Structure 1
Amino acid sequence: MKIIIIEDESLVAEDLASSLKNCSDEIEIVALLGSVKEAIVYFRTNPQPDLIFSDIQLGDGLSFEIIKTVPLNVPVIFCTAFNEYALDAFKSNGIEYILKPFSAAELKVALAKFHSMQQLMSGQIAEQYQKAMEIISNLKQPVSTSILVKYRDRLLPFSLDKIALFYVEAETTVMLAHNGKSYTLTESLEDMEKRTNRFFFRMNRQVLVNRNAIADVTDYFPRKLKINLSLPFHKDIFVSREKRSKVLAWLGN
């Protein structure tokens, strides 16, 4: 089975490729593509694979734009961190997905659906992906306004604008408030990413930052970004070159 992975974070792409190979000896990873533009160029000059695993939001646009530009007759399994409202929309349109961060068990289930997807989606792929693109583009997601933090024997409500960032240290999630106080959380950083709103961005695997905590951003060799905060923090925050365009677009919006 020939598989192509479309993912703009190289570490995530490599991890997915390794996990897929561990699922079956018959799997061959044909290519790792990192952007809408790169994928369009690739599919115009290369044969289509048996299956595609793709992130939805790439640095230069939605991956649905690839299918819109280059007709594909290949099932696509989307790797996504979208919330349950988007996923309900996916289900109603017959779109398959796995949630980030994915597990080996989820990958095996996704691969098991591969043959049924071929039959189900034959001749309808472009139409279904066009519907999905419209859903994601127009989706109105509910915005959280606060979270509860357990502190000793109390639960403290924090409005999101009072939170500077969330980060992982020694495998524990920590919340840092604008007043400089930090609180240990029981939830994972992935959980907090889902619960926060569009003013927060996952800069890397360790840090989720509020826009209002950013003083400025500087270029960092080679083609990386360094996030400079408006409050003291004991770690430097770097953004990979693969995620650079996403961060700049988020800041620009």
Structure 2
Amino acid sequence: MKAIIIEDEEIIAQVLQNKIRNADPSIEIIKILPSLKTAKKWFIQNEEPDILFMDIQLSDGVSFELLEHFQLKCPIVFTTAYDEFAIRAFKVNGVDYLLKPVNDEELQKAIDKCRAIVQQQKPVVADITELMHALSHPQLTLKKYKERFVASIRNQWMPIPVAEIAFFVKEELQYIYLFNGERYLLDSGSLDDIEDVLDPDRFYRANRQYIINIDAVRTVKPVENSKLLIRLKAPYHKLEIDMSRERAPVFKKWMGR
């Protein structure tokens, strides 16, 4: 099978290409397209591939615009660092999605699904149309994120507005740290559960231990061993949070939203 990758971050594109080759060596990546403009030009001049891996948010626009210009029938796997496009509901019949950084197991499932569609020769235009309809009516798909958490303090419960939280951390238990320097024990929930109900425009999962608020970030510095070092604003300016450099392009794009 022949595949195209549309991705504006070169490092992410190369990592995805290597992961696809490892997952299925029979897939030939015939082109990596770095922008919406080059993608439109390529599809005008070439036949569509068997599979299309496509980042949603590109430097020069949203890749869904391709679907408005071309009636693509190949299965499409969207890649994104954000949940805001509400495409979980479209993980059927030729529309799939992968959250960055791409998980090997999820990638394998997406490839297997696409292969089955290609072998059955079933067009996916109807699903794309439904997706475009939902995206043009965001009020129908908008995810409602958590507005407050319940903290435990001296055998009492206390509501904490999300806007006051600088970061979440897993120590022996889960804690929230507020911008004013206060720390509270969370009443329940793992970091995975917490991440799922937070607005991804505001909060980022830096590693297995930390979820940080964009307003708490002071600087990010590359360090040895392919790591990034995140430094937070006062009163947490002495705290340093490690993050893998593989996440750097996604994290940089998140910070610049």
Task: Give the TM-score normalised by structure 1.
Answer: 0.66
Query: Equivalent pairs: percent with the same residue?
Result: 28
- Any idea what the Cα deviations from partners look like across 1:29-73, whole Å, max 9, x if unmatched? 223334323322333344432211223333443321122224433
Distance in 1 between residues matched to 2:212 and 2:60, nearest whole Å: 21
1:115 aligns with 2:115: yes
- Any idea what the Cα deviations from partners look like across 1:166-201, whole Å, max 9, x if unmatched? 5799xx99754212246799845x654432126505
Contact 2:7 2:54 in 1 (8 A): yes
Aligned to 1:22: 22
Cα gap change, 1:24 to 1:176, in 2 (>3 Å): same
Distance in 2 between residues matched to 1:241 and 1:102, nearest whole Å: 13
- Any idea what the Cα deviations from partners look like across 1:54-107, whole Å, max 9, x if unmatched? 23333443321122224433221223452796422x147762334455432322
Structure 1: runs of 5+ lacking an equivalent: 218-225
Distance in 1 between residues matched to 2:158 and 2:14, nearest whole Å: 40
1:74 aligns with 2:74: yes
AA in 2 matched with 1:164: A
1:210 aligns with 2:213: yes
Q: State the secondary structure of the residue aligned to 1:113.
A: helix
1:65 aligns with 2:65: yes
Aligned to 1:38: 38
Contact 1:149 1:156 in 2 (8 A): yes
1:136 aligns with 2:139: no
Aligned to 2:179: 178
Contact 1:227 1:237 in 2 (8 A): no
**How many pairs are equivalent?**
235
What's the CA shift for 1:208? 5.5
Contact 1:52 1:76 in 2 (8 A): yes
Q: CA RMSD in A?
A: 4.4
Cα gap change, 1:229 to 1:41, in 2 (>3 Å): farther
Aligned to 1:220: none
Structure 2: runs of 5+ lacking an equivalent: 220-229
Choose from 196, 199, 208 the match for 1:194. Answer: 196
Q: Which of the pair has the greater relative contact order for Cα pairs under 8 Å at 6+ separation?
A: 1
Q: State the secondary structure of the residue aligned to 2:109.
A: helix
Cα gap change, 1:102 to 1:113, in 2 (>3 Å): same
What's the CA shift for 1:161? 0.9
AA in 1 matched with 2:213: N
Aligned to 1:13: 13
Distance in 1 between residues matched to 2:36 and 2:107, nearest whole Å: 23
